[in-house]
Amino acid sequence: MATTTNTTARPDIYTSITNRIVEQLEQGTRPWLKPWNATHAAGRISRPLRHNAQPYSGINVIVLWMTAETSGFLSPFWLTFKQAQELGGHVKKGEHGSQVVYASTFKKKDKDDAGEETEQEIPFLKTYTVFSADQCEGLPKHFYQLAEQPKEKLERIEAVEQFVANTKAEIRYGGNQAYYTLGDDRIQMPPFETFRDAESHAATLVHELSHWTRHPSRLNRDDFGRKRWGDEGYAMEELVAELGSAFVCADLQITPEVRDDHASYIEHWLKVLKDDKRAIFSAASHASKAADFLHGLQPQPEA
């Protein structure tokens, strides 16, 4: 059957994905908080993984988490139709794939005011289709392998503490608020004993570390037009930190249950997303850069 690349009859990819996330937020659900898989050997908690076990980044993490949640998929692995075949398996008959995106560019030639020919690269998004390993048959067994009993939580939290220590961020404890202050370039945290559990403490700390990456000496992230506390620019930075925390927490296998007061941002996020269909793509991209930066501060294995 012939295929077509004409997309004029359907919403563009920015609108389509943004609408899905807006729908979840309007129901009071933050789609980047789940699903957390307790049964697959790849990990109790994981980012979506490509066929070669490389994690997805940016908006694709959120898209595939949402799809896995609504479809009940347990495996974190996602493959193209061809990749399933190359691995000796196949997509089950009647299964429908999920759209993911990747950035590409095209070159545009023009002339400047002096009549000189110029060339610039214009970014745009392309889409392709992937299937969960749960939608496939005949793949190598590790795509379906169930996990043994999860490790004790203490081991995972110790890994988080070491991850945080490796960043060498200045962290002070005291008071009843968690925040990052750009002027002093430090993180303030309430005492550990005030958190309901160790994972909540770790997730909150990683959230503030995501803010910490915005400093001019690190990623030099802009303030998204922020003019005052609580405005749309402020909400956008909070969205970046929330997503960055979710990505890193997934990598460290802890549930990103951040503070309850972050639920109050949902109304602000909805306004940001409804006003700008590309906002969630931008936030996810900044969040991936923040996560990558924090991972880059960790000791690297010898080649």
Q: Determine the average pLDDT of the residues in 61-90.
A: 92
The answer to whether residue 111 sits within a structural domain is no
Confidence of residue 262 (pLDDT cuts 50, 70, 90): low
The answer to whether residue 112 sits within a structural domain is no
Tally the C-alpha atoms within 13 A of residue 230's C-alpha that lie toward its C-beta: 3
- Residues 134 and 155 grouped into a single domain: no
- Residues 273 and 190 grouped into a single domain: yes
pLDDT per position as a tens digit, 145-182: 765 554 444 445 888 999 999 999 999 998 878 899 99
Given a contact cutoff of 8 angstroms between Cβ atoms, the answer to whether 14 and 21 are in contact is no
pLDDT per position as a tens digit, 101-129: 987 777 777 777 777 777 777 777 889 99
- Residues 164 and 45 grouped into a single domain: no
Whole-model pTM: value is 0.77
pLDDT per position as a tens digit, 248-261: 998 998 876 655 55
- Residues 24 and 73 grouped into a single domain: yes
Most confident region among 101-110, 137-146, 193-202, 276-285 by mean pLDDT: 276-285
Q: Determine the average pLDDT of the residues in 141-145.
A: 85
- Residues 24 and 80 grouped into a single domain: yes
The answer to whether residue 291 sits within a structural domain is yes
Confidence of residue 144 (pLDDT cuts 50, 70, 90): confident
Give residue 39's pLDDT: 57
Confidence of residue 85 (pLDDT cuts 50, 70, 90): very high
| Number of structural domains in the chain | 2
Residue 2 has pLDDT above 90, yes or no: no
The answer to whether residue 116 sits within a structural domain is no
Confidence of residue 232 (pLDDT cuts 50, 70, 90): confident
Confidence of residue 198 (pLDDT cuts 50, 70, 90): confident
Domain that holds residue 19: 9-101+127-149
The answer to whether residue 25 sits within a structural domain is yes
- Residues 230 and 132 grouped into a single domain: no
- Residues 187 and 224 grouped into a single domain: yes
Give residue 201's pLDDT: 87
- Residues 155 and 237 grouped into a single domain: yes
Q: Determine the average pLDDT of the residues in 9-19.
A: 79
Give residue 271's pLDDT: 87
- Residues 190 and 75 grouped into a single domain: no
The answer to whether residue 110 sits within a structural domain is no
Domain boundary among 87, 115, 149: 149
The answer to whether residue 19 sits within a structural domain is yes
- Residues 77 and 16 grouped into a single domain: yes
- Residues 144 and 168 grouped into a single domain: no
The answer to whether residue 65 sits within a structural domain is yes
Average pLDDT, the chain: 83
- Residues 244 and 184 grouped into a single domain: yes
Q: Determine the average pLDDT of the residues in 276-283.
A: 94
